[in-house]
Amino acid sequence: MLSTSGLDTVIVPIGGDIRSNISLTQPDGTVTKINEPGPSLSAAERDRLISAVASNLGATNWLVCAGSLPTGVRDDWYGELVELGRRHGVQVAVDTSGEPMTQSLHARPDVVKPNVHELAELTGAMPSTLGEVIEAANEVRHRGARTVLASLGADGAVLVDADGALWGHAPVTGVVSTVGAGDAMLAGYLAARVAEQPLDEALRSAVATGAAATLEVGGGRFDKREVSRLVTTVTVSAAEPVSAR
């Protein structure tokens, strides 16, 4: 699958089996996920994986740390990778949840991409309005993240950095599956940043790519033509936290 996608891939052999995640999608868009826990990594396997990452950082602008951590890897492992990226002059994005996300903040990742539920995990309160989402994102920034790209599902996304907050939204109909839409959103954001587009255009790209992924069956798949169409429909505007109103 990776070869068919045209991706350069470095294989790091492990003793266990890679996991399978199953998503059951109903006609009304309801998705049930059945995620296996995955294998446990030995210390030697973890070290080989770190070495593989380090040896390939010279040819990239961004390192993305995404997903849950396997058994045998400490919760601060993504934090180690953030520091590794910084030593190589590479920016790092973290897209995970729970304690691994919390621990990664100590290393000051360049971007984190929580959803609303993950923001609630980080801050201890579920945000229910756009202003509360921005306040929660700012709290995450104060704890270490330089930029927060928060996905809000059908309500779009918020991008918060030291200069303020932007909200982006695209009208989408005919949603097939939301599996992988957040991953696609982060990919759209990073593609725009690599192309040195300004933050408002990066958010526009992120929202359009995430929205396009909801129109496809399969985790994070999307049609580039749909991204090009949707990007013209994305509304991006400045937003403020509750305390600023």
Total domain count for the chain?
Answer: 1
Structure-token match 């934090």, residue found: 79
β-strand pairing of 235-239 with 21-25: unpaired
Does residue 15 lie within any of the structural domains? no
Q: Does residue 218 carry a pLDDT above 90?
A: no
Does residue 113 lie within any of the structural domains? yes
Q: Could you say which of 161, 183, 200, 223 is catalytic? A: 183
β-strand pairing of 157-161 with 111-112: unpaired
Does residue 183 lie within any of the structural domains? yes
The confidence score (pLDDT) of residue 243 equals 63
Mean pLDDT of 129-143: 96
Does residue 13 lie within any of the structural domains? no
Does residue 53 lie within any of the structural domains? yes
Does residue 11 lie within any of the structural domains? no
Does residue 12 lie within any of the structural domains? no
Known catalytic membership, residue 183: yes
Q: Does residue 198 carry a pLDDT above 90?
A: yes
Q: At what angle do helices 77-87 and 43-55 cross, to 10 degrees?
A: 30
CATH number at residue 130: 3.40.1190.20
Q: How far apart (Å, rounded) are the C-alpha atoms in residues 137 and 172?
A: 25
**What's the domain range around 228?**
21-244
The confidence score (pLDDT) of residue 13 equals 93
Select the more confidently predicted residue: 147 or 23.
147
Cβ atoms of 68 and 77 within 8 Å: the answer is: no
φ, ψ for residue 166 (rounded to 5)? Answer: -125, 145
Helices H / strands E in the chain, number of each: 8, 9
Averaged confidence pLDDT in the chain: 92
φ, ψ for residue 34 (rounded to 5)? Answer: -120, 100
User: With pLDDT > 70 as the criterion, what percentage of the chain qualifies?
Assistant: 98
The identity of residue 88, as a single letter, is H
Which pTM value belongs to this model? Answer: 0.92
* Tens of pLDDT, residues 69-120: 988 899 999 999 999 999 999 999 999 999 999 999 999 999 999 999 999 9
The confidence score (pLDDT) of residue 201 equals 97
Q: How far apart (Å, rounded) are the C-alpha atoms in residues 119 and 222?
A: 26
Q: How far apart (Å, rounded) are the C-alpha atoms in residues 122 and 133?
A: 12
The confidence score (pLDDT) of residue 28 equals 75
Does residue 2 lie within any of the structural domains? no
The confidence score (pLDDT) of residue 27 equals 77
Q: Does residue 24 carry a pLDDT above 60?
A: yes
